[in-house]
Chain A
């Protein structure tokens, strides 16, 4: 549905994105991850035909964003980062204006507007002036206007920023529901959000693509060692020494005390060996008391940080 090939954008002399290449399948939700200034907004602006790339090619729904911009724009709903709306209009008047411009048939307009207002939870503010609404409501109107003509492709730049937790869940649910029929690209800083709603994520940093995969695959492929959390009552020095001697253990970290004489430890070991059995045997042999033991999976967050910092080094 969306094909991006070697996309590059220069602002003056400085490149904001450098040779991005990826594709998005029909019906897929793709998450765009990256630190501030990574080039997420830049990429989305190019895909939504707001500005052209300096080099490279991008097609949306089979149309080139540069050559056939009008055709692309008919099929894309775009919610820009700062949600720039017309502050002097009421919510319903604004949506009606956008519906008209996006070619929603006069007869369907009212129904469509009511539907998206309901979906985005803005029915209550339909007669209020947009300029007088809170950030969260503006954000929802931004999503509503992108949905109004039921487009094939949705490009949402940080759709859940500025929303309250309840609303975040609703909007995530909404986005998930929209998938299947539509292709969605969204950018976010919230990593659990990406692993929750996206089928695939792209991680970019300083304009370069550093990883594309499903959240699960990313976690497994970037996990180089496994980590076990332990809570043990006993003398810390001895514990550290003994546990380090176990075959396969790479590193042990002692954390803050949890109670009198009890500490949390993180034990890292090579993936190839499950050290939990040995840990347990060693601990009980020494007469220490084990109160908790579980493995910690690497989160998308860890991978993200790892990738981004590795890139810098």
Chain B
């Protein structure tokens, strides 16, 4: 535990002494801000149009029209940006050789992995902070429901954690950060769209595909519904990939 904390501190410092964290957070804020303002503006136009149109008015409310879409777009943004946060975690150390010293320090593999995971997770949370201001703007102008905001962010955070676990695994496999990022992105995208196949397969496989899709479980959170099995899915997903990461680290010590 103490060692995990030491690793976490070092990694976190490393994120914020290099430009990586700042650039990623900056890009993320700009794009999410652009999404937010577009969605907000679109909602505004719809409101104006609906003044004389009762049919349009029925479906129009600030929660469904602005809050939910802005949070949902965050999830896809996180998918694009996370590989850039995770790619360095092990690849950089492998490339520079500090991996050799790291493995000869009296540390357990789990402590190393959790420390790195924690640092990346905290950076990710910091990255989300600017988006809270967008929500604050909505709340200052209108009265949306709080439920979907909380569940939406909970969903994004769980989603982020599972993305990180995939990214860490990829980064233990190569000393090339670009490869780590591309592999992470590919795997995440696959888990994102995997339920599309459900339309063409038998009912059992279809159900499996839907159940392992990252996006499918996120939908419920976006609607403002918090199900334990969705939470469990993300936790299991993260746990599974962290376990594979541990295996990957151990493989350095397999006799050959």
Closest CB in chain A relative to B109 CB, distance in Å: 10
Which stretch from A72-80, A162-170, A234-242, A263-271 is at the chain B interface?
A72-80
Known: A84-B96, A84-B98, A101-B3. A49 touches B104 (CB 8 A): yes
Most B CB within 10 A of own CB, among A48, A88, A93, A103: A88
A286 in contact (CB, < 8 A) = no
A53 in contact (CB, < 8 A) = yes
Q: How far is the CA of A159 from the CA of B3 in the complex (A)?
A: 28
Can you identify 5 A-B contacts, CB atoms within 8 angstroms?
A54-B256, A69-B253, A84-B101, A88-B17, A102-B106
Known: A88-B14, A100-B6. A73 touches B100 (CB 8 A): no
Known: A53-B255, A54-B256. A102 touches B96 (CB 8 A): no
A97 in contact (CB, < 8 A) = yes
Q: How far is the CA of A52 from the CA of B253 in the complex (A)?
A: 6
Known: A86-B14, A88-B14, A101-B107. A54 touches B100 (CB 8 A): no
Known: A51-B252, A52-B254. A78 touches B106 (CB 8 A): no
A45 in contact (CB, < 8 A) = yes
Known interface pairs A52-B256, A102-B105; 14 further A-B residue pairs with C-beta atoms within 8 A, sorted by A's residue number: A49-B103, A50-B103, A52-B254, A54-B256, A66-B253, A73-B104, A84-B97, A84-B98, A84-B100, A84-B101, A86-B98, A89-B14, A97-B9, A101-B3
B247 in contact (CB, < 8 A) = no
Most B CB within 10 A of own CB, among A93, A101, A102: A101
Q: How far is the CA of A53 from the CA of B254 in the complex (A)?
A: 9
A residues less than 8 Å from B107 (CB atoms): 73, 101
B residues less than 8 Å from A102 (CB atoms): 105-106
Contact B101 A101 (CB under 8 A): no
Q: How far is the CA of A53 from the CA of B106 in the complex (A)?
A: 19
Interface membership of chain B positions 69-81, coded 1 if the CB is closer than 8 angstroms to chain A and 0 otherwise: 0000000000000
Contact A78 B104 (CB under 8 A): yes
Contact A45 B106 (CB under 8 A): no
Q: How large is the interface on B (under 10, 10 to 19, 20 to 34, 35 or more residues)?
A: 20 to 34
Contact A101 B103 (CB under 8 A): no
A residues less than 8 Å from B49 (CB atoms): none
B18 in contact (CB, < 8 A) = yes
Interface membership of chain A positions 46-72, coded 1 if the CB is closer than 8 angstroms to chain B and 0 otherwise: 001111111000000000001001100
A10 in contact (CB, < 8 A) = yes
Q: How far is the CA of A85 from the CA of B105 in the complex (A)?
A: 13
Closest 9 CB pairs of A and B: A84-B97, A84-B98, A73-B106, A74-B106, A100-B6, A48-B104, A52-B255, A78-B104, A88-B17
